[in-house]
Amino acid sequence: MILKNETIILAFILIPVLLIIQCKKDNIGLISGEQETELGRKTDSVIMSSPEQFPVLDTASYHNAYAYLDTLLSEILQSNDFQRKNTFNYQLKIIDRDELHAFAAPGGYLYFYTGLITRLDNGAQFAGLLAHQMAHIDRRHLTGNLEAKYHIDPLLSVIWSNDPGVLEDITAYLTGESGSATFSSSQEYEADEFAVKYLADTDYEPRGILYFFTKLDQIVQSGTAPGFLNMHTDPGNRLETIEKIWEDLNSPEGELYTDEYNSFKLTLSGD
C-alpha cells in the first residue's frame, strides 16, 4: 500500500513536469491562444493610449497605406508553414516616428516605424522583415520569452485582471523601451528560416530578410544606429544560412516589387 501511494504521489509530481517539457518542445506554451490574444490586445491598448510615445497613423486617414499592408499580410498568411495562422488576427500598425525600429506583441500585433519603412528600397525587404516578425509570433518566441521572464501567474494577472504595473512593464519590454527585449540566437535563426519559407509561398523574393539585413548594414555604415538592433542579434553568418535555406527549398527567385513599395511609401504622406 505504501508503494502504491508513493507511486501515485510521484505521478502527480511528474505529470505536470512532463507536460511542461512537452509544451516547450512543441512550442505549445503554458497560456492558450485565446489568452495570448488577450495579452496582445491589452498591450496594444497601452500603445494606442500613448500617442505621444507611439503616434500610430490613423487607418481612415491612411487608408491606402493600410490597404497595402493588409494585402501583404494576407499573402504571407497563405503559407502552409504557419503553425497557428487561424489562431490570431494579424494586424500591422504604423508608428509615425523617424526611427529605425519595429516590434511585435503576442496575438498577431505588429508595429513598424515610418523611419524604417521609408529607408527600405523595395517590397521584398519589407516583406522579409514582416515575415520574420510574424515568425516570432507564430513560433511562440514572444510568449515563450514572456513566460520565462514573468512566469505564468503574473501573465495571467494581466490577462484576467488587467494588472497595470505588470502590463506596463510587459509593454516596455516588448516595444524595446526598456532595452531588454532580446531574442536568442536560435530564435533569430528560426525566424529567418520561416521568413524564407513563408515568402517562398508568395510571389515575393523568398530571401527578402537577407536583403533587409544587407540594407540594414548599409544604413549602419552610413552612421545611423537603428533602435531595431537593440532587439536583434548581429546577423553574422545568418546571411549564409538564409541563402542555404532558400537553396534547400529549391525555390525560384521572386519579385522585389520596387515600384509598388515606392508607391506605398508615398501614401504615408496622407491619402
pLDDT at res. 206: 98
Q: Distance between CA atoms of 109 and 112, rounded to whole angstroms?
A: 10
Burial class (CB in 10 A: 0-12, 13-18, 19+), 87: middle
The band of 234, judged by pLDDT with boundaries at 50, 70 and 90, is low
Calculate ∠ Cα 203-132-76, nearest 5°: 35
pLDDT at res. 157: 80
Q: Which of 18-22, 26-30, 167-171, 223-227 comes out lowest in average pLDDT? A: 18-22
Check pLDDT > 50 for residue 263.
Answer: yes
Burial class (CB in 10 A: 0-12, 13-18, 19+), 31: buried
Check pLDDT > 50 for residue 16.
Answer: no
Q: Which residue has the higher pLDDT, 5 or 116?
A: 116
Contacting residues for 121 by C-beta, under 8 A, at least 6 apart? 215, 258, 261
pLDDT digits (tens, 9 = 90+) for 177-189: 655 557 888 999 9
pTM: 0.86
pLDDT at res. 150: 86
The band of 4, judged by pLDDT with boundaries at 50, 70 and 90, is low
pLDDT digits (tens, 9 = 90+) for 82-103: 999 999 999 999 999 999 999 9
Q: Which residue has the higher pLDDT, 270 or 252?
A: 252
